[in-house]
Amino acid sequence: MAAWIFLTAVLMQSPECSISGRVYSLSTGAPLKKAQVRLAGEGVNARLSEAATTTDAEGNFRFDHLGAGKYFLVADRNGYLTYPGSKVSCGSTDVTIKMTPQAMIYGRVIDDDGEPVSNALVSVGRRTWIRGQRQAQMVQGTTSQADGSFVLGNLSPGNYYLSAKGNMRPPQGEAFVENFFPNTTDLQSAAPIGVAAGADMRGLELRVRSVRVYTIRGKATNASGEDFNGGPLMLIHTTGLNHGSMQNAGTAGGVFEFRNVAPGNYVIQALPFRDAPGGGPAKLTAHVPVTVGEGDLEGVQVALTPGAEIPGSVKLGDSRFSQSLSVMLEPSNGAGVDNNAQVRDGAFAFHSVAPTLYHVEIQNLLDGYCLKSMRFGGRELVRRELDLSAGGGGTLEILLSAKPATIGGTVRNSNGEPVADATVNVWTKDDPDIHTARTDASGHFSLRNFAPGEYRVIAWEQIERGVIENPSFRAAFESQAAVVTLREGAEENVDLKLIPKSAGDAEVAKLQ
């Protein structure tokens, strides 16, 4: 009897398997030795969820003694960008990883006399699409050395914008501002620098520039229209790669001012604080856009009002959601202060929220759940946009589902052949987020955690990051996207025809 039980236990064990493959350089096609390959998944072994190995002289790697299941591969190597990862099945023996060599930019910062500038702030950024609008986004930054030199590395192929900003004492009545290559303070007039995979860009010069600065003066009032005396206001810069801010010393007799302000677009943001003694328990806040031109800005009116109180709930069916996650209110215009709330036992709250437009984000939602609906003040939120510009609060109700749907499939080229490393986008008119996946070596993709609804699915040879969020761009390709209708818990598969890079680039050019 005991022998029979032992034999049954052995037979019931999942058979072990291996995963092996090879790492290549994307630019040369040569095998890469000394690349570190990491494998993540529940079946690595009984104690660990991740294992690592290093490729041999021929770029080969292998993982043995694995349990059945799906795994995720990531690779790193000096001089190359991190391979972002691909899903593989246990037993795969021909996994191919192609790593992109990093690009480098070498240059120096100088002043108007051509002399080197040390300790200048150097930034490199890209223009991308955020919530359907083209914006500059900083990728990384550094400071210039004593001889004015700087180095920026670990860059992927693409177009970049470089800027420098002096970090020493400026001339009297002036301030250093972000100055873009080749020599302009206007990002729209800046020249992008095209960087190829593995390129070494040398000899670039960035100039520091100072401009005349001005003063913003105005009056702050409380909710009753009386002069506000109290805490400081913040001035937040809304353009450029670096969204800096400054804080004033507060208000006296309702009067406030910001000194040494360079021309540009700003938001005056009042963080929640108590009104003057006797003003009641409500916290006051404000959110006022301003533009500074070539002169002082006088007579700015800032009306501080009680910020919105927003209690909220997260439910799974009729029950409170017990898992940990967070909810964020992000200003839709990209300027201002984010509001974050932790969800505990299915409840959260935002206090004293400034009056402006927000996008509602759910963060750290576990795999296996999806957003079913979101309501504010009893009304469905369209595309998760929350308008608090008129003031006033309400209850934010979030309903989740534990039966999300899945979309999978294969991407093929014009010859019907599977395409590896293609970009797949999935969207619906009811959700502002664009879901993205990349195909594996067999041209397969899989995306999970969708709510029921009608979705568009499309595949690209290569696409500018974030441009799919632009409604006009999506509309141009909507007829070429596959339409998939998902039911709760459904798993749908679709074959996609690859959209060539040239087609996407032509549409992007129309949006410039």
Residue-by-residue DSSP string for 58-108? TSEEEEEEEPSSEEEEEEE-TTBPPEEEEEEETT---EEEEEPBPEEEEEE
Number of H helices, E strands in the chain: 3, 42
- Distance between start and end Cα atoms, the chain: 77
| CA–CA distance, 235 with 292 (Å, rounded to integer) | 12
Q: Which domains does the chain have, with CATH numbers?
A: 2-99 (2.60.40.10), 103-211 (2.60.40.1120), 213-306 (2.60.40.10), 308-401 (2.60.40), 405-510 (2.60.40.1120)
| CA–CA distance, 393 with 386 (Å, rounded to integer) | 10
- CA 264, distance to chain mean position in Å, is 24
| CA–CA distance, 191 with 506 (Å, rounded to integer) | 20
Where b means 16+ CB within 10 Å and e means fewer, 102-127 reads bbbbebbbbeeeeeebeebbbbbbbb
Peptide bond into 272 cis (omega under 30): no
Q: Taking a C-beta distance cutoff of 8 angstroms, is the pair 440, 88 a contact? A: yes
Give the mean pLDDT of 363-373: 92
Q: What does the pLDDT look like over 241-262, one tens digit per residue?
A: 566 677 776 677 889 999 989 8
Q: For residue 390, what pLDDT band results from cuts at 50, 70 and 90? A: confident
Q: Taking a C-beta distance cutoff of 8 angstroms, is the pair 297, 215 a contact? A: yes
The tokens for 154 are 């670990």
Higher pLDDT, 132 or 246: 246
What proportion of the chain, given as a percentage, has pLDDT over 90? 61
pLDDT over threshold 60, residue 5: no
Residues 6+ apart with CB under 8 A from 15: 68
240 by DSSP, 3-state: which?
Answer: coil
Among 201-210, 270-279, 446-455, the minimum mean pLDDT is found in 270-279
Q: What does the pLDDT look like over 10-29, one tens digit per residue?
A: 334 556 889 999 999 998 99
Rounded to the nearest integer, the mean pLDDT of the chain is 87
CA atoms within 13 A on the CB side of 108: 13
pLDDT over threshold 60, residue 450: yes
pLDDT over threshold 90, residue 48: no
Biggest alpha carbon–alpha carbon distance for the chain: 95
The tokens for 348 are 């959260």
Give the mean pLDDT of 67-82: 90
- CA 370, distance to chain mean position in Å, is 20
What pTM does this model have? Answer: 0.71
| CA–CA distance, 212 with 260 (Å, rounded to integer) | 8
CB atoms within 10 A of CB 491: 12
Q: What does the pLDDT look like over 198-218, one tens digit per residue?
A: 999 999 999 999 999 999 999
Residue with token string 């790593």: 99
Give the mean pLDDT of 75-104: 91
The tokens for 10 are 């052995």
pLDDT over threshold 60, residue 8: no
Question: How are the residues of the chain apportioned to helix, strand and coil, as percentages rounded to the nearest 5?
Answer: 10, 55, 40
